[in-house]
Amino acid sequence: MKRRHWLFGGAGAAAAAAGFGWQAWRSRQEEPPVSEDTSGLWTMRFAQPDGGELVMAERRGKPLLLNFWATWCAPCVKEMPEIDRFHRQFSPRGWQVVGLAIDGPTPVREYLQRVRVGFSIGLAGMEGTELTMNLGNTQGALPFTAIFGADGRIVRRKLGETSYAELAAWAEALG
């Protein structure tokens, strides 16, 4: 009988430890607190790979999905078709999508010749890493996605690869 109590007690303790460990891991995966100051973003301008300029002030006033990516980032490259699908499905509903490349112009141009996307791309260069950090990406890693409401404030963000389903759910929740 004592052996059975020890066995069940040990199994219960192991399950509790696993649960606490899982919860600690999940809490590290959650988003950082949302910043209220995004004013600097709306004053920025970025060169575009095909020429011209991407003016962020022109994007304010409608919901915006902003994705930071690079050609050398495997998860970034993998999620580009998902983001493009979101763009195709949600732009008729007033959504805008912008990709800011943390990369040089030549690799971005070469990548976009192979993988066509319908949304706007800006060249943020390595300085774009600082912008991601100002928007809440405390690690400065890629990919990083932020969703802005029509008022220009961040309502959602994610560090790491995203998917069409996740982006669509965020957009539906925003209304």
CATH number of the structural domain 41-174 = 3.40.30.10
Domain extents in the chain: 1-30, 41-174
Contact 88, 120 (CB under 8 A): no
> 1 pLDDT band (50/70/90 cuts)?
low
Residue 20 has pLDDT above 80, yes or no: no
Residue 17 has pLDDT above 70, yes or no: no
> 9 pLDDT band (50/70/90 cuts)?
very low
pTM: 0.79
In percent, the amount of the chain with pLDDT more than 90 equals 75
> 4 pLDDT band (50/70/90 cuts)?
low
Give one DSSP letter per residue of 97-161, joined into a string. EEEEESS-HHHHHHHHHHS--SSEEEE-TTTHHHHHHHTT-TT--S-EEEEE-TTS-EEEEEES-
- Regarding predicted confidence, which is higher, 121 or 127? 121
Residue 65 has pLDDT above 60, yes or no: yes
Which helix H or strand E contains 96, and what residues bound it?
strand 96-101
The pLDDT value recorded for residue 39 is 74
